[in-house]
Amino acid sequence: MTAPRSYDPERRLLVRARRRITVQVAGVFSLAIALLGALVYYIVADSQDATARRDLAVAARSAPIDHPPPCVWLFELRANTVRSSPGAPRHLPVRAALDRVAADGRARVEVAEADGRSYLIRTQLRGDVPVQAVMDLYYSVAERRRLLNTLLAAEIAALLMALLIGQVLAQRAIAPLGETLDRQRRFTADVSHELRSPVTRLYVRAQLAARRLRRGSDPLAIADDVDRLVTGIGQLGEVIEDLLLSTQLRQHRRPYERTDLAALAEESVAAETARAEQLGVTIDLRRGPGEHVVRGAPAALRRVISALLDNALRHTSVGGHIWVTVCSGTETVQLGVRDDGVGLDPRDSERLFARHVGVPHSGGLGIGLALVREVVDAHGGTIDVDGRPGGGATFTIRLPRAAAEPGPRPNRVLLPQQARGETSRTSEPAAPGPRDGGP
């Protein structure tokens, strides 16, 4: 059985809006093409009808009976006898029209159907003789039918084109809304993930402080717990502020500063110590010699270390170990977080940093490690992962090392003889120049 699709009301609204825009645009285009086609058909039909009536009037007035124009036949009534053009259809003329014109002398124009064909008929007097001119409308009707079929084909093609154009326009119109929805969901997921670890640490620290208060423990230990709570709350405020500013700073370079990566690691390890004790996990910090200074956003880098520690704690069993190492090279500062937990499949090393992958060691939906890579990439660094199932995992971050700040310029120290020389040169009058009256 296949799993049911999750209901997404926002996406459904976007799809409906896109379809509605597509239909509306296609409807407007189709209506415009239909009106244009109707106008063309009306103009062509009216022009044909006017031309046919004019040609028939000329033929009835002056064309010879024996030599009428093409597609026209002439008939005249003399002494109750009808004379017709050669080749005239046997069901013509319309005798009733000839008799009426002979009686009252008024010209008449009408369309008649005979033997399955349409004819335009004009009956009038030529002198005092009733004459009837008949034009076969077969070719005019056929031409109109071809025009109508052409317009219908054009309307169908225009409708398909309008649907395509409407789809493109709707896609472009809805795309910003879809992107906004994705950003909103991404921001919500990021906030929920980033706040989970700091809130968990604060909760554990508050529990320890409450227990020590109930037991009447050493006030200094309680004060230490309270200080750590205050520090954690301050860091939580930094996380919230950094997340709120991330949407504005994502398109611009963050205001980086010189940051001691080892100091951030020490803070993060100290913040996770209480939680690690509850879980029965030991965290060791190993700091290499030298400076470990990089240029970056301290709050963001602290969240990176916190996310890696949180990932290691959630995948390390009771009695396990986590090692955090910081060392410096000539051009980079390296930070590693290694655990002896459940491990991972090396084939999933790249998928770990994708969002919503749900693979082991990725941390639920994989949001935390995805954020880690985003922050590391923004700082111009790299992140690698290594491990095996049941053998733990190691995450290694390499960030560009910050250049040493230039120190203050040392004062120039002069020997006594150099000082006398400087003084003599300073007290010597300048040689007169042309403006001072010199040669």
Compute the distance between CA of residue 155 and CA of residue 373 in angstroms, rounded to an integer. Answer: 53
pLDDT at 424 over 70: no
Compute the distance between CA of residue 260 and CA of residue 399 in angstroms, rounded to an integer. Answer: 12
Residue 397 confidence class, pLDDT cut points 50, 70, 90:
very high
Compute the distance between CA of residue 56 and CA of residue 36 in angstroms, rounded to an integer. Answer: 30
Compute the distance between CA of residue 85 and CA of residue 96 in angstroms, rounded to an integer. Answer: 18
Residue 243 confidence class, pLDDT cut points 50, 70, 90:
low
What separation in angstroms does the CA of 66 have from each of 150, 181, 230?
38, 83, 118
Strand extents, DSSP E, 36-128: 72-78, 81-84, 108-114, 117-126
What is residue 329's three-state secondary structure? coil
Q: What is the mean pLDDT of residues 105-129?
A: 86
Distance of CA 281 to the CA centre of its chain: 44
Structural contact between residues 280 and 206, judged by C-beta atoms closer than 8 angstroms: no
More confident residue, 126 or 421: 126
Q: What is the dihedral of CA 423, 428, 433, 437, to 10 degrees?
A: 150
Q: Which residue has the tokens 């039918």?
A: 145
Q: What is the pLDDT of residue 115?
A: 77
pLDDT at 383 over 60: yes
Q: Which helix (H) or strand (E) holds 129?
A: strand 129-136
Least confident of 119-123, 268-272, 331-335, 361-365: 361-365
| Per-residue DSSP letter, 330 | S
Q: Which residue has the tokens 């050493």?
A: 218
Nearest C-alpha neighbor of 24 from the set 157, 152, 173: 173
Q: What is the mean pLDDT of residues 257-265?
A: 92
Q: What is the pLDDT of residue 394?
A: 92
Q: What is the mean pLDDT of residues 280-308?
A: 89
Lay out the sheet containing 393-400: strands in order across.
Answer: 282-287, 321-328, 332-339, 393-400, 382-387
| Per-residue DSSP letter, 403 | P
Residue 194 confidence class, pLDDT cut points 50, 70, 90:
low
Q: What is the pLDDT of residue 435?
A: 39
What separation in angstroms does the CA of 279 have from each of 204, 318, 392, 431?
11, 6, 17, 86
Compute the distance between CA of residue 137 and CA of residue 338 in angstroms, rounded to an integer. Answer: 94
Q: What is the pLDDT of residue 298?
A: 86
Q: What is the pLDDT of residue 254?
A: 57
Nearest C-alpha neighbor of 250 from the set 300, 211, 207: 300
How many of the other CB atoms lie within 10 Å of CB of 122?
A: 24
Q: Which residue has the tokens 């500062």?
A: 333
Residue 335 confidence class, pLDDT cut points 50, 70, 90:
very high
Give the largest Cα separation in the chain, rounded.
154
Whether pTM > 0.85 for this model: the answer is no
Q: Which tokens belong to 214?
A: 């109930």
What separation in angstroms does the CA of 384 have from each of 217, 286, 345, 353?
44, 19, 14, 10
- Percent share of the chain, pLDDT over 70: 77
Helix and strand tally (H, E) in the chain? Answer: 8, 12
Domains, the chain, ordered by start: 11-142 (3.30.450), 255-400 (3.30.565.10)
Least confident of 37-51, 192-206, 272-286, 338-352: 192-206
Q: What is the pLDDT of residue 332?
A: 93
pLDDT at 1 over 50: no
93 preceded by a cis bond (ω within 30 of 0): yes
254's CB contacts (< 8 A; 6+ apart) are 296, 297, 300, 378
pLDDT at 407 over 70: no
